[in-house]
Amino acid sequence: MQTQLVTCTINGKLTQTVVDTRASLTDMLRNDYRLTSVKKGCEVGECGACNVLIDGECFNSCIYLAVWAEGKTIRTLEDLLGPNGELSDIQQAFIDEAAVQCGFCTPGVIMTAVEILGMGRRFTRDELRKLLSGHLCRCTGYENIVNAVEKTMNKRLDG
């Protein structure tokens, strides 16, 4: 087994860990840092349950090697909580709009929503559906997910 030291920033903290060069970023985040919002779903980049932000862009962490995280800034759902544990606006919108059913897909969908909302522009519902299309929700909560993202987008843009 070959290993490599990976130095990166995870949720605002500079970290270092030695990983198997074949390990996925999902495995590193879950096993070495106990960031369990990063779900192991399909493990082939199809479901989006493992989505994290890497340097501000969403990636399926299951098909992203941990060694590729060298020097990167990674954000997971755990980073969205406020200093006193308060939910972010997008997390609250998911609750308000009943966009959470079983919850398995929710962290990955929210991280994609964070990327979308970070673009700072208004999208149509069809555009939001397309931007969120990389996620599988087995509970079929898609309409409520779009509602939550749209509500947060409008609140942020309307001030």
Same domain, 98 and 152: yes
Q: Is residue 138 scored above 90 in pLDDT?
A: no
pTM for this one?
0.94
pLDDT tens by residue, 15-29: 999 999 999 999 999
Report how far residue 76's alpha carbon sits from residue 63's, in angstroms, rounded to the nearest whole number: 16
Q: State the virtual CA torsion across 94, 57, 135, 40 in degrees, nearest 10.
A: -100
Q: List pLDDT tens digits, range 112-126.
A: 999 999 999 999 999
Fill in the amino acid letter for 6: V
Query: Is 102 found in the same domain as 70?
Result: no
- Which SS3 state, helix, strand or coil, does residue 127 take? helix
Nearest to 59 by CA among 68, 102, 86: 68
> Considering its fold, how many domains does the chain have in total?
2
In which domain, by residue range, is 99 found?
Answer: 89-158
- Do both 7 and 67 map to the same domain? yes
